[in-house]
Amino acid sequence: MNDFSPNETGSPVARVSPSGAALKLLWSEEFNEAAGSSVDGAFWNFDIGDGSEVGIPGWGNQEREWYLPEQAATDGAGSLVITATKLPADNSYMAYYGTPADWASAKLHTAGKVSVLHGRIEARVRVPKGAGTWPAFWMLGTDLVEVTWPTCGEIDILEVRGRDPHTLVGTIHGPGYSGEHGSGTEISVEADMSDGFHTFAVEWLPGSISWYIDDRHYQTKTPADVAPSQWVFEHPHYIIMNLAMGGGFTGEIDPALTHAEMAIDHVRVYSLDGVGQVTVH
């Protein structure tokens, strides 16, 4: 495995973080391919199914979707679009709840291909419309298989409940502070986040993680916030993007909803005053 050279991205220029740190681009995905293209397989994997094959039916959250790679494709206008589609009742995807799956959607991640340790991790996203949608941009520790969740650590950069597109959720999960007991906050956003793109980011440094929307800081977490539990965020994590449907976090799906889209304009990782590392495996 090799550290990714920032010169190989050849795209956005360096800038200054809202915290005042100098930003240097380490890795990015700009999704400028022709319409209908899939993501670069050198960087991205797809999860498939409803979680049953990996021992977590409903992906641990009572979700109603079946993940398929074809539900994520570029739009030809610079974005990757994850499309959730209501499935016909007679589809062949037998879900954990005993009937064919209700929805198809997509989940992408960089496990085993790209890992990040510290820095600014951001995505410019337009969240979907519709009650029951659950868009997320997040990270898990690369030691997930060895130590299991939540000891691996989870950093949720963006979560929105479709029924409330004015509320943004940012959270960390670790041993003793996971699931509904995660350490985080919810903030009110004046704009309807489904009406346009917004930039969601964390600035992750040794001993702290700070959350931003459109370069506005709204929370910082440190080891003191989870004490006496263990702070599990000083090792590499990988990046995840998905559009879930239903489940305990977002609630019931609007029965009239048949289609929803999460659009991702870019994903970028920067160093902060030289702190931060991306490794391509």
Residues 20 and 42: their CA atoms lie apart, in Å, by: 33
Q: Which of 159, 163, 146 is nearest to 232 (CA)?
A: 146
Residues 270, 115, 62, 40: what is their CA dihedral angle, to the nearest 10 degrees? Answer: 90
- Angle (CA) 59-218-245 rounded to 5° is 25
Is 154 among the residues known to form the active site? yes
Q: Using an 8 Å Cβ cutoff, are 193 and 213 in contact? A: no
Helix, strand, coil abundance in the chain, percent, nearest 5: 10, 45, 45
Per-residue DSSP letter, 227: T
Is 63 among the residues known to form the active site? no
Residues 147 and 90: their CA atoms lie apart, in Å, by: 39
- Angle (CA) 195-122-69 rounded to 5° is 75
Which tokens in the block code for residue 82? 């994850």
- Determine which one of 154, 186, 190, 234 is catalytic: 154
Q: Which of 80, 241, 93, 88 is nearest to 160 (CA)?
A: 241
- Determine which one of 159, 203, 234, 261 is catalytic: 159
Question: CA-CA distances (angstroms) from residue 209 to 52, 171, 179, 200, 222?
Answer: 32, 10, 18, 13, 7
Q: Using an 8 Å Cβ cutoff, are 236 and 279 in contact? A: yes
Catalytic (active-site) positions: 154, 159
